[in-house]
Amino acid sequence: MRVLLTTWGSRGDVEPLAGLAVALRELGAEVRVCAPPDEEFTALLARAGVPRVPLGPSVRSVVAGPRPPTAKDAFRLAPELVAARFETLTAAAEGSDALVATGLMPAGARDVAEKLGLRYVLACFHTLGLPSRHFPPGRRPGTPSPQDETDNRVLWEQDAQRVNALYGEALNSGRAALGLPPVDNVRDHVLTDRPWLAADPTLWPSRGRTDLDLVHTGAWILPDDRPLPADLDAFLDAGEPPVYVGFGSMASHAPEDIARVATEAGRARGRRVLLARGWADLAAVDDSDDCFVVGEVNQQALFRRVAAVVHHGGAGTTTAAALAGTPQVVVPRIADQPYWAGRVAELGIGVAHEAPTPTVDSLSAALTAALAPETRTRAREVSGTIRTDGATVAAKLLLDMPLRDHPVQVPQGNP
């Protein structure tokens, strides 16, 4: 069986696909991944031994500017990505049997699959973008809903209209070029009525989260057996476990002055600090030997050796810290991050920092709670419930599908 996997988004969107690709390959499938051309994603997929086809512009070129992307940027990027998917996926999917799409609203992927007669799966790493009678939609570029509107069904219909405004013209232009009829609800067309949720059931329970028929596979974790760099290993051995501080692929969204704030907060608690450089380019604030800066490393190994993990609340970092049994302080900034922060606090495995921009005092207080013995005990308890077989579960589901499918029925109108 041949499977094409595709995404466009941050590392948290790319690494799970690498994990699924490895699981598929171990079960005998041939796999290719279409992903953004960022150097670190190329290196990640090469380490996993997965062939990569570049898709769209680099993510870093979009998000790593001096300011966060604007709505205007989103309306420029959306049709660019749709056009890139039609062009790139049509060539890359030739000879495949199934196409799995994730990441930023992958409009165009299902349409290529439809034209080529492939099975199509939409996978997500949280449920915030899935229609639900119980929850309102998150924010999206475009005309906002009236502030006094509280009917979730109406709010989700308006969300679908915003998706149409972003992607509809480009999607239907691409479909017309393939001889396919137009779609009038892009969001529901992309999602299908049976999306897959690649998140750990303990960390992100799916019951009651969406009206769709969700397939909950568990998180897609890429195994990592790389040793830690020698200088990092020496730093870890030189004293008590440090506090890790990292904001991953967050660049312009990282809290202002976070390196200084985190270093001073760690010192206030008598802890050394390990700064992860990331896309925010965190750097040491002085030359003291109680602070160490590290680049891209094996988080699975590292998180087991630190006292706490301070991070933005990305799905991958939250899952890695939970699996390691290490307390967390989550400083959420955008998108799904507030939910991950709330879930960490609800489970008792860490602290949700209320303000998006920590001060030395607020982060010091959060670290006090995270470093408490009862938090570490609870984190270790919960670590035993985190599943590591999600990628294998998903791979087996794909392999059990018919090799090819008849063209899918295109939904017309809002449900």
- Residue 47, token pair as written in the block: 């380490």
Mean pLDDT of all residues in 142-160? 96
Least confident of 61-70, 83-92, 113-122, 232-241: 61-70
- Residue of 164, 200, 199 lying closest to 183 (CA atoms): 164
Output phi, psi for 52, to 5 deg. -120, 140
The rounded distance, in Å, linking the Cα atoms of 130 and 123 is 11
Q: Per-residue confidence at 248, pLDDT binned at 50, 70, 90?
A: confident
Length of the chain, in residues: 415
Q: Is the pLDDT of residue 404 over 70?
A: no
Q: How many CB atoms lie within 10 A of CB 232?
A: 20
pLDDT of residue 207: 86
- Residue of 23, 174, 175, 160 lying closest to 100 (CA atoms): 23
pLDDT of residue 403: 60
Q: Is the pLDDT of residue 353 over 90?
A: yes
Amino acid type, 153: R
- Residue 113, token pair as written in the block: 């699959």
Kindly list the distances between the CA atom of residue 188 and the CA atoms of 111, 129, 250, in Å, as whole numbers in the listed order: 13, 10, 28
The rounded distance, in Å, linking the Cα atoms of 385 and 379 is 10
Mean pLDDT of all residues in 247-253? 74
Q: Per-residue confidence at 409, pLDDT binned at 50, 70, 90?
A: very low
CB 108 within 8 A of CB 174: yes
Q: Is the pLDDT of residue 407 over 60?
A: no
> Going by C-beta distance under 8 Å and a sequence separation of 6 or more, which residues neighbour residue 381?
none
User: Per residue in 271-320, pLDDT tens?
Assistant: 999 999 998 899 999 999 999 999 999 999 999 999 999 999 999 999 99
The rounded distance, in Å, linking the Cα atoms of 73 and 177 is 26
User: Per residue in 208-218, pLDDT tens?
Assistant: 889 999 999 99
Q: Is the pLDDT of residue 414 over 60?
A: no
Half-sphere exposure of 48 (CA within 13 A, CB side): 27
Mean pLDDT of all residues in 75-98? 97
Least confident of 85-89, 114-118, 245-249: 245-249
Q: Which residue has the tokens 């476990």?
A: 241
Q: What angle do CA 9, 153, 103 make, to 5 degrees?
A: 10
- Residue of 195, 117, 194 lying closest to 404 (CA atoms): 117
Q: Which residue has the tokens 């970092």?
A: 317
As separate numbers, helices (DSSP H) first and strands (DSSP E) second, the chain gives 16, 13
What is the percent of the chain with per-residue pLDDT over 90, rounded to a whole number? 89
Cα torsion angle, 184, 189, 194, 200, sign = negative
Q: Is the pLDDT of residue 408 over 70?
A: no
Q: Per-residue confidence at 63, pLDDT binned at 50, 70, 90?
A: confident
pLDDT of residue 410: 34
pLDDT of residue 252: 60
Output phi, psi for 65, to 5 deg. -80, 180
pLDDT of residue 405: 47
CATH of 2-221+389-400 given 3.90.50.10, 3.30.470.10, 3.30.1300.10, 3.40.50.2000: 3.40.50.2000
Strands, E, within 277-347: which ranges? 291-294, 308-311, 328-330
pTM above 0.85, yes or no: yes
**Domain 230-383, second-level architecture:** 3-Layer(aba) Sandwich (3.40)
The residues of the chain that CATH labels 3.40.50.2000 are 2-221+389-400, 230-383
DSSP result, 345-356:
HHHTSEEE-SSS
The rounded distance, in Å, linking the Cα atoms of 98 and 398 is 8
